[in-house]
Amino acid sequence: MKEDKLQLYVNGRETIQRARIIYGNMIGAKREDGKWKFVRYYSLCENKHKVFLKEGEKREVCPICKQKVVIYQEEPDEMLIEVFEKIDKEIIKLLEAEISKNVTEYAEWQNFLVFVKGVGPTISAELVSILPPEKFNWNLAKLKSYAGIGIAGVCEKDNYLVYGSQAYKDRKPVDNKPLNGNCPYCGNPLKWRAVNKADPVKYHRQAKALLTYKLATSLMKAKGVYYQLYLKFKEEISKKHPDWNKAKVNMTAVRKMLTVFLTVYLSISYSITHNVDYKTALVHVLGEKEYNILRTHKDFIDFPLFDDLIDTKRKTMKVNQTVKKTLERLGLDEGDLNNMVIFHQKQLKQED
């Protein structure tokens, strides 16, 4: 299966990347001004205890015998450097080339990911292999719960927590599920919040790292439409919760940005694979009940967000023929396209 093949390439690259980091630390590899430099520092005492220092670490006495030390530096053997460069320039590049070639076969790449700034072939390959839409029946809540970015319902009185299909009391799994959003033990309304490290819930940690670190960081560095959306959310959250610290505001804005991105990701996938229009797909992805609640909000986005509509340098709109064909496949008309352009224009004004 192509999914298994791509998954092997992605896992292989991740494994080699980790090995390169470990090996690089061993020979003192450090990237400066776009180039690799290789130097290690160590301390040496009168008793000949040679102990390596971490980057930036200072040491006056030996950690073994507490004698005074002298700091030295050394460069690794040329052969060791050559091995590192082969891993970096040849082996990893070879895997990345195969990833780039194979990910283009996926409908999610062809109709969405290729049009988003900051989402290259490698991140796209991780998305479609770690979080394939069909695994979650194209359901946003299931995907977010699996990836650890869903929300948990909490009752502090009874030490009860529910997250997706999981429920816990006193940190132990239980079968009792919420009753109309209320605690099954005391009947009080649950308080909803993001999952944190202290919670006993289970989720896919690789998927969470992919979304909250790799994807989010890349989207924001690219400064495309999803970054503009993040800025909008961040401003709104800061005004609504002036008592929140910067880290909480930032993480909440990132989660909201990712929710919009994943909604589009799943909706386009469902639309193409089931041959239905985008808005029908959107109802399936969100769930009819949630869709009917959200659609009443004035800022509800019922169209996909592509960066190919926007030229951030020239502050002008452009729609290429490939995007137009995709929009036609999704059953979107000129009215939808105009709404997309207006949305982009608003984000540009906000940036100014």
Residue range 134-142: average pLDDT? 95
Is 60 exceeded by the pLDDT of residue 50?
A: yes
108 contacts 185 by C-beta, under 8 angstroms: no
From residue 217, give the alpha-carbon distance in Å to each of 43, 68, 144, 234, 293: 37, 44, 18, 15, 30
Closest by CA position to 202, among listed 233, 227, 168: 168
Distance between CA 227 and CA 249 in Å, rounded?
A: 15
pLDDT score of 345: 64
Is 90 exceeded by the pLDDT of residue 342?
A: no
DSSP H helices, the chain, are 2-26, 78-86, 92-103, 107-111, 121-130, 140-146, 205-209, 216-222, 225-240, 246-274, 278-286, 288-294, 321-329, 334-351
pLDDT score of 333: 76
**What count of other Cβ atoms lies within 10 Å of the Cβ of residue 216?**
23
Helix axes 78-86, 2-26, angle to 10 degrees: 160
Residue range 90-104: average pLDDT? 91
Is 90 exceeded by the pLDDT of residue 198?
A: no
108 contacts 127 by C-beta, under 8 angstroms: yes
Residue range 213-224: average pLDDT? 93
- End-to-end Cα distance, the chain: 47
Is 90 exceeded by the pLDDT of residue 339?
A: no
Is 60 exceeded by the pLDDT of residue 179?
A: yes
261 DSSP assignment:
H
CB under 8 Å to 272, separation ≥6 — which residues?
A: 107, 111, 329, 330
152 contacts 201 by C-beta, under 8 angstroms: yes
List the beta bridge partners of residue 61.
Answer: 68
Closest by CA position to 224, among listed 305, 303, 301: 305
CB under 8 Å to 114, separation ≥6 — which residues?
A: 124
168 contacts 174 by C-beta, under 8 angstroms: yes
What is the dihedral angle through the alpha carbons of 66, 69, 75, 81, rounded to the nearest 10 degrees? 10
User: What percent of the chain is modeled with pLDDT above 90?
Assistant: 63
Is 90 exceeded by the pLDDT of residue 318?
A: no
Quick: pLDDT tens for 219-234.
999 988 899 899 999 9
Would you place residue 347 in the very low, low, confident or very high pLDDT band (cuts 50, 70, 90)? low
Closest by CA position to 203, among listed 123, 139, 149: 149
279 contacts 243 by C-beta, under 8 angstroms: no
Is 70 exceeded by the pLDDT of residue 311?
A: no
Q: Where are the domains of the chain?
A: 2-103, 107-142+204-351, 149-194
75 DSSP assignment:
-
Q: What is the CA radius of gyration of the chain?
A: 25
Closest by CA position to 312, among listed 267, 345, 334, 264: 345
Would you place residue 332 in the very low, low, confident or very high pLDDT band (cuts 50, 70, 90)? confident
pLDDT score of 351: 55
Distance between CA 68 and CA 65 in Å, rounded?
A: 9
**What is the enclosing helix (H) or strand (E) of 212?**
none
Quick: pLDDT tens for 249-263.
999 999 999 999 999
Question: pTM for this one?
Answer: 0.83
144 contacts 135 by C-beta, under 8 angstroms: no
pLDDT score of 346: 65
